[in-house]
Amino acid sequence: MNDFENKIKRALKKEVEKPLSYDYAIKNAFYNSKNKRKSNLLLKLATTTSCLIMACTGVFATSYIVYEKVWKKPVIVNQEEENANVEKEISKEEKENYISEEDAIKIANEVINKLGYKNTQISNVDLKRKYNNEYSGHYILRSNNILITINAETGKLEYFGDSSINNRDIKCDEISETQVNEIAREIYNKLGLFDNENKYEIVNTKKVDMAFREHINSLWEVSFGKMYNGNYDKSNISTICFSICDNNIVISSITFIDNNNFENNPIIITKKEAIEIATNKEKEFSNLKISDTTADLSIEKMNIFIYCLENNITNENGEIKTDDITRNVWVVDVKHNKETKPKDAEIETVKKLYNKKYYIDATTGEIIGGEQSEYFNN
């Protein structure tokens, strides 16, 4: 397996592992392969309200909302078992829910044609399991420098990559950001990836120089977020990397992610309450004076960042996973008065000296994750 294929393998995993001992920046959640949440937040009782029971008696009754706690203790994953599950042969029963190999090949060739590739056809296909909590299947198709993956259940493109640019030095034509965004959306629409275009908005556009050995390519990277009530799911970002060279579109990669793991939980916890929860936890970690706190509503995936700090856990303990869910949260950014930046990224240093962001569940008030808001550089 070459470097390019290794990069693709990592891209196809829903989670890219990051060494806690290096930066503890675990923004995306790890996946729980055993406990799949099958429903949204359970409402056990009706909304808190006082209602008249009997007009003649004037008796009032109060009922309360009781929300199910969402945080569950993460589990340590046996990597050998994980690999065995991924390599396990896909059963005949599972395949009954998948599109056929012939259809996968047809879809892949349609993608190639829509992207303007000529004299390129795909005929080789493999059905493999994904590194997700269900180990579901997807089709992997290759032709020369082209790599495509197709969701075996929906038949939608998951990934397109053209590694031929690795052997070139691409200089991008002068083009405005507005034009770049229009081209990016046109490509996604052409591929039929956005069922409801209004749900997907461009959340980031930037120009990047990507190095491939001795070659450097000037590319535009445009990311689309799936929108809910004015916010976008930070775990559901689809990105295209491309350049415009001599008025021709040169595509490096296209990803389409549609996890549908957002539970759209109600906003019950107030901003003030969220800040109090976060600052109380931060005071358990650090004796530094808190200089500033901000809180904003966001859609984030549950992760193990704060849990690892609480329990002094590093990657040496093995891979750790939580439930694969995304929630409405308050992201509380806690900052300290500090004369100097931290000198290392050890776990005790992160706890005591680093500024942090806490994910406070907007319904239950639980701390369901977080991230660093500063990083150590040698």
Could you read off the pLDDT of 315-351 as tens digits, one per residue?
776 778 899 999 999 999 999 988 777 888 899 999 9
Q: Looking at residues 266-292, what average pLDDT do you find?
A: 97
Strand pairing partners for 198?
none
Q: What does the alpha-carbon distance between residue 144 and residue 57 come to, in Å, rounded to a whole number?
A: 81
Instruction: Give pLDDT, residue 285.
Output: 96
What mean pLDDT value characterizes the chain?
A: 82
Structural contact between residues 296 and 278, judged by C-beta atoms closer than 8 angstroms: no
Angle at 322 between CA 318 and CA 326, to 5 degrees: 145
Instruction: Give pLDDT, residue 85.
Output: 82
Q: Flag the least confident range among 47-61, 251-265, 334-348.
A: 47-61
Could you read off the pLDDT of 192-210 as tens digits, one per residue?
998 776 689 999 999 998 8
Could you read off the pLDDT of 127-179 as tens digits, one per residue?
998 777 677 889 999 988 999 999 999 999 999 999 988 878 888 889 999 99
For residue 8, pLDDT over 60 is answered with: no
What does the DSSP 8-state code read for residue 94?
H
Structural contact between residues 293 and 279, judged by C-beta atoms closer than 8 angstroms: yes
Structural contact between residues 98 and 137, judged by C-beta atoms closer than 8 angstroms: yes
Instruction: Give pLDDT, residue 317.
Output: 64
Q: How far is CA 22 from CA 17, 78, 282, 333, in A?
A: 11, 22, 21, 21
Alpha-carbon torsion (67, 366, 18, 316), positive or negative: negative
Q: 260: which 2 tokens?
A: 């549908």
R_g (Cα) of the chain, nearest Å: 24
Q: What does the alpha-carbon distance between residue 323 and residue 71 come to, in Å, rounded to a whole number?
A: 8
Instruction: Give pLDDT, residue 378.
Output: 54
Non-local CB neighbours of 39 within 8 Å, separated by 6+ positions:
none
Q: Hunting for tokens 């109090």 — which residue is that?
A: 276
